[in-house]
Structure 1
Amino acid sequence: MEATVEHARTLLTAARQVVDRAVARLAVDVRGANGRVDLERLDREQAIVYDLSAAACLVGAGEAMLPWGESGGLAEMLTTAFSGHVVAEVNSRLQGREPAWGVETLPWHGGDVALAFAAARSVELLDRIAEQVTTGPLPSPPQTDELDMARRVFRDFAREKVAPLAEAVHRNDSDIPESIISDFARMGLFGMGITEEYGGSASGGPAGHSENDLLAMVVATEEITRGSMGLAGPFITRPEILATALLKGGAEEQAKRWLPGVASGELMVAVAVTEPDYGSDVAGLTTTATREGDHYRINGVKTWSTFSGRADLLLVLARTGTREDKHRGLSLFVIEKPRFPGHAWVHEGEDGGRIDARAISTIGYRGMHSFEISFEDYLVPAENLIGGEAGLGRGFYLQMNAFANGRMQTAARAVGLMRAAYESAARYTQERHVFGAPLADYQLTRTKLARMAYLMAACQAYTYRCAHLIAEGGGQLEASMVKSLACNAAEWVTREAQQLHGGYGYAEEYPVSRYFLDARVLSLFEGADETLAVRVIGKGLAERALRSSPGGGFDGR
């Protein structure tokens, strides 16, 4: 039976029904006395919630692929194969736990759904996909002519300027060359998330960006990450976080003071939020900012502050309230500092105090350096509190406003990295001969390459769908979902690309070894995957179910 997009639609409809039923069951179980999700109850079901979140992410990606799949050809084959992957993954996560998911029978065990499942999982389908993706370019969901042209420009730049520097920066853990930062500035990359009135290129909208703005950022991120994930880092999320905080909660004079320099690339940005004992649990942060006259005195330690040596502006989340205030006692400050090269730096404040920083050695994602930073009685002018007095206690919320776009951009990084790894593997398997034949001629190789292709396509389509939702003022939950899915997929794709290189995949002279190391960080930053799955995605899905059926709609049948 030839696999078609109708098989994909049948499978995704069945998977959606199973996931929605499981979410409804979860919502009833974790509903608190106030009608909202009770976190203690949610945490008692972490294992189920983690798997359910993964299943929901897969189904969401499959649904995002369907419109593209309807165009036929390779897009249809990729969509159908991915739908088979979705059902296989959902099945593996719930089998033996059906009561906990609120289901008794699985629709793909019989009838038309079972036939669709067999067609979508056929080795013949994967072989046809491999035949096309190994002899021609891997397609992307269609965009406007303007975005397609931008993609070509960014791709050429990454190939000609970024990729040649990537290996030296990685092996030596050296600083990102100033020439690359200057090139990024000339291309307007630092201003893509900043509105035109402050020198950027974003045109605005309900979320501060139009769909075209967001897609342009995604395309730039994908293509430049193909050249190097580390070198692509400076322009991706940090300028966006500062810009969002200033535009959502800053004073007009603050936006005018800093945003034009950020948009032009004159001012680099770093963010200091995470602490040694508090990562995803931001509400527990202990770094303090105490008002003293016209200044705030900052004391505490931040960690994993990426690019803060080279940065001119350091965005710091500190506690201005009490520990009991939790996230409501946090405020955002902008520290203006000199640039420092290398792996350690010390800054003596103009008004008093000191910042002492050292880089944390990492296995990948090198070039920008991630620092542990100690603030010792550092005085920052009160005028640098974002929003002024009105910004006290709003730091957590202002930072969270930028998370949706940041997580979507991280998914785009994962897509770019997957594509680089896939292309490396596809080339190598056609050149490498094993037992008298090219490695690419073997069925198992072709199966792996086809799976890489449909995972990339699904994550890319879901990222583009997320851009549409964010532009309309939503997409907060979907951004976390695509981030989780794409980052996990990138680990598998880069590992298999390395595996297909055999022993050479373990050699530093082949870029594929770097891709694997870089991919590992994706599920750790912008929300560790476990926290994201349980406390953001699982919680968010349950809250949606409760809003749609406040009394609880699961009937147990």
Structure 2
Amino acid sequence: MSTAPDLQTAAAVINTARAMVDTAIQTLIAKGGPDANQTLAYDIAHVAAAIETSRGLLEYGAKGTVEGNITCAFTADMVHDFISRLIGREKLWGVDPSGLSSAHDFVQTYREPAFLASLADQQGPRHLGDEFEMVQDTFRSFGAKVIAPQAEHVHRHNGDVPEDVIAGLAEIGAFGLSVPVEYDGFSEGGEGEYMASVIATEELTRASLGIGGSLITRPEILTRAL
């Protein structure tokens, strides 16, 4: 029998984890802040990011069974990671780990190896609009045709990014995704520009992180800083 998603429990688990992190943040402040407690600060930041990602996935999970199961699997993994960081450091965190005991059955269900294996060969529906589908197709095609054939050689020989990769990305507008249109870029503001950047980065990373995905994040960071 296939496992059905349980988004109601996922949401409850996320809320419990969030409340525990909020308590830990107050503990961190009382102990002198991040500079005085870097290990705790790092763990809190890591867990908090995973919690908010889980929360963001709830809307996606409501779109269908596959989407829901992906959401539950990620949430269960978030809880497992949270517990692994918390056990043995309860006093440091200032929280009671038993607060997550109610999530045991949920984690057991959605971290079960056979369940996770059943998701491995399923492409999670992306629910992209036509404009973003075009972004996806453009960057996926470039990654497959131009980046992927050269990636292994560059990695193994610590080579420079090939000029045809740089020139090709410039030609399809990769370095102008966050540049405002009044400066000859493609950004018109709004959440859409972030989505386009995420999709482009993901598709280029599919071909290579080193000479693909990470290559366009540098100008993105610089542009937003300016």
Aligned to 1:87: 79
1:236 alignment partner AA: T
Does the alignment pair 1:115 with 2:96?
A: no
Residue aligned with 1:236, SS: helix
Deviations 1:7-63 (A, max 9, x none): 311221221121111112222332xxxxxxxxxx53332222222222112211111
Q: How does 1:12-161 map to 2 (within 5 A)?
A: 12-30=14-32, 41-104=33-96, 106-110=98-102, 113-130=103-120, 133=121, 136=122, 138-139=123-124, 141-161=126-146
CA–CA distance in structure 2, aligned partners of residues 45 and 176 of structure 1: 39
1:362-387 per-residue CA deviation (whole Å, 9 max, x = no partner) reads xxxxxxxxxxxxxxxxxxxxxxxxxx
SS at the partner of 2:209?
A: coil
Aligned ranges for residues 130-529 of structure 1 at < 5 Å? 130=120, 133=121, 136=122, 138-139=123-124, 141-204=126-189, 210-232=190-212, 233-238=214-219, 241=222, 243-244=223-224, 401=225
- C-alpha deviation, 1:239, in angstroms: 6.3
* C-alpha spacing 1:212/1:7, structure 2 compared with 1 (3 Å): same
Q: C-alpha separation between the residues in 1 aligned to 2:113 and 2:59?
A: 24
Distance in 2 separating the partners of 1:15 and 1:139: 25
Which structure has the bigger radius of gyration?
Answer: 1
Distance 1:120-1:239 versus aligned 2 partners, 3 A rule: closer
Which amino acid in 2 is paired with 1:214? Y
Give secondary structure in 1 for the equivalent of 2:211. coil
Counterpart CA distance in 2 for 1:239 and 1:188 is 12
Instruction: Kindly indicate whether the alpha-carbon contact (under 8 Å) linking 2:86 and 2:97 is maintained by their aligned counterparts in 1.
Output: no
Q: Provide closer, same or farther for how the CA distance between residues 20 and 166 of structure 1 changes in structure 2, counting only shifts above 3 A.
A: same
Rounded to whole Å, the distance in 1 between the matches of 2:76 and 2:160 is: 44
Call closer, same or farther: CA 1:141–1:102 in 2, change over 3 Å. farther
Contact 1:190 1:235 in 2 (8 A): yes
Q: CA–CA distance in 1 between the matches of 2:159 and 2:118?
A: 43
Question: Secondary structure in 2 aligned to 1:155?
Answer: helix
How far residue 154 of structure 1 moved from its aligned partner, in angstroms, is 1.0
Q: Percent identity?
A: 30
- SS of 2:31's equivalent? helix
User: Are 1:155 and 1:224, in contact at CA under 8 Å, matched by a contact in 2?
Assistant: yes
Q: CA deviation at 1:140?
A: 5.3
| Equivalent residue pairs, number | 223
1:129 and 1:196 mapped to 2: Cα distance? 40
Q: How much has 1:105 moved relative to structure 2?
A: 5.1
| Residues 175/2 of structure 1: CA separation in 2 closer, same or farther (3 Å cut) | closer
Point out the structure with the larger strand share.
Answer: 1
Distance 1:167 1:101, change over 3 A: closer
Encode CA deviations 1:241-265: one digit per residue, 9 max, x unaligned. Answer: 1x45xxxxxxxxxxxxxxxxxxxxx
CA gap of 1:170–1:116, structure 2 versus 1, over 3 A, is closer
The structure carrying a bigger helix percent of its residues is: 2
Unpaired runs of at least 5, structure 1: 31-40, 205-209, 245-400, 403-557
TM-score of the aligned structures, taking structure 1 as reference length: 0.37
> How far apart, CA to CA, are the structure 2 residues paired with 1:153 and 1:186?
12
Is the Cα–Cα contact under 8 Å of residues 4 and 65 in structure 2 kept in the other structure? Answer: no
Q: Which residue of 1 aligns with 2:10?
A: 8
TM-score by length of 2: 0.86
Which protein has greater RCO, CA pairs closer than 8 Å, 6+ apart?
1
